Amino acid sequence: LAKTTQPISMDSYEGQEVNITCSHNNIATNDYITWYQQFPSQGPRFIIQGYKTKVTNEVASLFIPADRKSSTLSLPRVSLSDTAVYYCLVGDTMRTGRRALTFGSGTRLQVQP
Amino acid sequence: DAGVIQSPRHEVTEMGQEVTLRCKPISGHNSLFWYRQTMMRGLELLIYFNNNVPIDDSGMPEDRFSAKMPNASFSTLKIQPSEPRDSAVYFCASGKGAQISKFSYEQYFGPGTRLTVT
- The pLDDT tens digits for B33-54 are 999 999 998 898 899 898 899 9
pLDDT value of position B48: 87
- CB-based contact A43 B104, cutoff 8 Å: no
pLDDT at B88 over 50: yes
Q: Which residues of A touch B53 (CB under 8 A)?
A: none
Q: Is A89 on the interface with B (CB under 8 A)?
A: yes
Q: Which residues of chain A have pLDDT under 50?
A: 93-98
**pLDDT over 90 for what percent of chain B?**
69
Q: Which residues of B39-77 are buried (b: 16+ CB within 10 A; e: fewer)?
A: eeebbbbbbbbbebeebbbebbeeeebebebeebbebeb
Selected residue with higher pLDDT from B99 and B93? B93
Section B17-46 average pLDDT: 93
pLDDT at B103: 59
B84 has a pLDDT exceeding 80: yes
CA closest to A90 among chain B residues: B105
Question: How does residue B30 score in pLDDT terms, banded at 50, 70 and 90?
Answer: confident
| Residues facing B74 on adjacent strands | B71
CA distances from A16 to A6, A27, A64, B83, B116 (A): 20, 30, 21, 46, 40
Find out whether B6 and B113 touch, Cβ atoms under 8 Å.
yes
Q: What is the pLDDT of residue B97?
A: 67
- Give the whole-number percent of chain B exceeding pLDDT 70: 92
Please state, rounded to an integer, the average pLDDT across all residues of chain B.
Answer: 91
For an interface test with B, the pick among A99, A102, A105, A107 (most B C-beta atoms closer than 10 Å) comes out as A99
Other residues' Cβ atoms within 10 Å of the Cβ of residue A6: 22
Length of chain B equals: 118
